[in-house]
């Protein structure tokens, strides 16, 4: 296929803008610029459309999308203990599948084509199967929780050896699948895991070259509990257990002391910044402009629908940019840098930039074609400013995932809206019965 007459924000490097055509063959981009037509190729008139790479999200929980609206207005530890853990404990394979499909529908509708996902303790293989069917570029993990002395329900507490055996088996099955699915060892957070398990995670990750995905320093109360238990900050504790390195992604990092920020930079680990969640749980504003100035890799993420309540990359982009203006001044995180967090730099932070994140021959054809001429986006401003500060999912005329159109005008076409919604309603009703809750 050749899409003609486009404006292309290639993000290679950020700020590069090309006027011309885009050629897609199979899953890949094979040409950019003034391209002569090839006999027999399909042609799409792209005049008036702006191409940007498909969005990358570094931190999402498919299994929590079913709980949207069921855990509002709580701080982190209460949110987990009173709502999320009991609900996750009531999941079955069917409810996890319905939750994952709801997630995929929403992600594709908002132009997200790459996502790192942390699932619950059980039935993660259902989410992995939905991810496989969807065609999304994914890093997947089932969360590990082996601490016996937490407030987690018994159904979510694992024995250390069994947790590691389950993780190793899923890594064997899914890591590297189709060249676009990868496995991340995903200890939930320090307070859910024994030191024995965390050391085993570091050992297995090093032995098999696996990624590590966890939560870190999200809320002040959590940081205080970690310090009381270990005598250290979150990041120092993770470092001392061998968990930090260039293949590690740390969701949040809202509260890191100066010495921990230096340690983070030296380790090469990435921050997975989730601004909506940080605001909704009252956790604070992550110092992302400072992290970027230090050269720390950053990706953005919507986190869970139970603490956001959207999975829309444009919402996170806009909020990420605006929040840094509050904390670091109005010149911090300009539009093009924010857009890079959701494309090239986000892909780099996840170790996926060899596949996606920019528009270049040889990269996957994961592309959003924006229509940036609607009244709410015009008349002035750069394409990146229109996208980051003003655009809505409905401004994405086409989303291509691996060369296939999966959404139009901000609505997923790869899955049926009514089928996905009906399955979610049915499975939520059953889940609430199992959880013994009427909400």
Cβ at position 270, least distance to Zn ion in Å? 14
Name every residue whose Cβ is closer than 8 Å to that of residue 241 and which is 6 or more positions away in sequence: 195, 198, 199, 202
Binding range to Zn ion, per CB under 5 A, among 170-178, 301-309, 359-367, 371-379: 301-309
* 200 close to 161: Cβ distance less than 8 angstroms: no
Cβ at position 80, least distance to Zn ion in Å? 10
With CB under 5 A as the rule, give the number of residues binding Zn ion. Answer: 1
Nearest residue to Zn ion, scored by beta-carbon proximity = 303
Cβ at position 173, least distance to Zn ion in Å? 23
303 binds Zn ion (CB under 5 A): yes
Please count the helices (runs of H) and the strands (runs of E) in the chain: 16, 17
* 27 close to 14: Cβ distance less than 8 angstroms: no
Which CB, 24 or 63, lies closer to Zn ion? Answer: 63
CA dihedral 422, 428, 431, 432 (to 10 degrees): -140
Binding range to Zn ion, per CB under 5 A, among 98-106, 170-178, 299-307, 380-388: 299-307
* Alpha helix (H) residue ranges in 156-232: 160-174, 195-208, 220-230
Cβ at position 185, least distance to Zn ion in Å? 15
- Ramachandran area for residue 206 (φ above 0: left; ψ -120 to 50: alpha; else beta): alpha
Cβ at position 312, least distance to Zn ion in Å? 16
What is the pattern of x (binds Zn ion, CB under 5 A) and - over residues 246-285?
----------------------------------------
CA dihedral 82, 83, 86, 87 (to 10 degrees): 170
Binding range to Zn ion, per CB under 5 A, among 100-108, 295-303, 407-415, 429-437: 295-303
Which CB, 21 or 303, lies closer to Zn ion? Answer: 303
Which CB, 119 or 353, lies closer to Zn ion? Answer: 119
* 299 close to 58: Cβ distance less than 8 angstroms: yes
- Using the structure block, give the residue that is written with the tokens 């709801």: 102
Which CB, 48 or 284, lies closer to Zn ion? Answer: 284
Binding site for Zn ion (CB under 5 A): 303
């Amino acid at each position: 296929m050749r899409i003609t007459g486009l404006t292309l924000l290639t993000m290679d490097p950020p700020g590069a803008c090309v006027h011309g055509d885009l050629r897609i063959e199979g899953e890949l981009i094979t040409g950019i610029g003034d391209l002569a037509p090839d006999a027999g190729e399909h042609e799409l008139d792209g005049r008036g459309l702006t191409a940007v790479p498909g969005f990358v999200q570094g931190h999402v929980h498919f299994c929590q999308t079913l709980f949207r609206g069921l855990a509002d207005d709580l701080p982190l530890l209460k949110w987990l203990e009173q709502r999320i853990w009991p609900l996750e404990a009531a999941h079955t394979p069917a409810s996890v599948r319905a939750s994952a499909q709801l997630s995929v529908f929403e992600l594709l509708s908002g132009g997200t084509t790459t996502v790192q996902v942390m699932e619950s303790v059980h039935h993660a293989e259902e989410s992995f199967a939905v991810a496989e069917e969807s065609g999304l570029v994914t890093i997947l993990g089932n969360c590990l929780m082996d601490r016996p002395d937490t407030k987690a329900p018994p159904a979510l507490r694992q024995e250390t050896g069994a947790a590691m055996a389950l993780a190793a088996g899923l890594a064997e099955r899914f890591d590297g699948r189709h060249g676009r699915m990868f496995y991340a060892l995903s200890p939930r957070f320090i307070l859910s895991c024994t030191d024995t398990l965390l050391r085993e995670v570091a050992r297995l990750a090093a032995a098999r070259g696996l990624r590590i995905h966890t939560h870190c320093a999200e809320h002040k109360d959590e940081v205080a509990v970690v310090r009381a238990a270990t005598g250290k900050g979150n990041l120092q504790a993770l470092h001392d257990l061998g968990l930090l390195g260039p293949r590690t992604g740390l969701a949040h990092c809202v509260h890191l002391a100066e010495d921990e920020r230096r340690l983070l930079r030296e380790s090469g680990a990435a921050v997975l910044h989730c601004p909506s969640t940080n605001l909704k749980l009252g956790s604070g504003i992550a110092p992302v402009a400072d992290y970027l100035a230090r050269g720390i890799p950053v990706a953005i993420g919507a986190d869970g629908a139970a603490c956001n309540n959207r999975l829309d990359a444009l919402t996170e982009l806009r909020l990420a940019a605006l929040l840094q203006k509050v904390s670091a001044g109005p010149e911090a995180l300009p539009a093009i840098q924010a857009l890079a967090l959701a494309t090239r730099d986000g892909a780099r932070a996840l170790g996926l930039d060899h596949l996606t994140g920019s528009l270049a021959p040889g990269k996957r054809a994961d592309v959003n074609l924006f229509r940036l001429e609607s009244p709410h986006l015009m008349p002035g401003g750069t394409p990146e400013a229109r996208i980051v500060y003003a655009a809505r999912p409905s401004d994405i005329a086409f989303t291509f995932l691996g060369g296939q159109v999966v959404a139009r005008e901000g609505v997923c076409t790869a899955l049926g809206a009514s089928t996905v919604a009906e399955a979610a309603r049915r499975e939520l009703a059953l889940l609430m019965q199992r959880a013994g809750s009427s909400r």
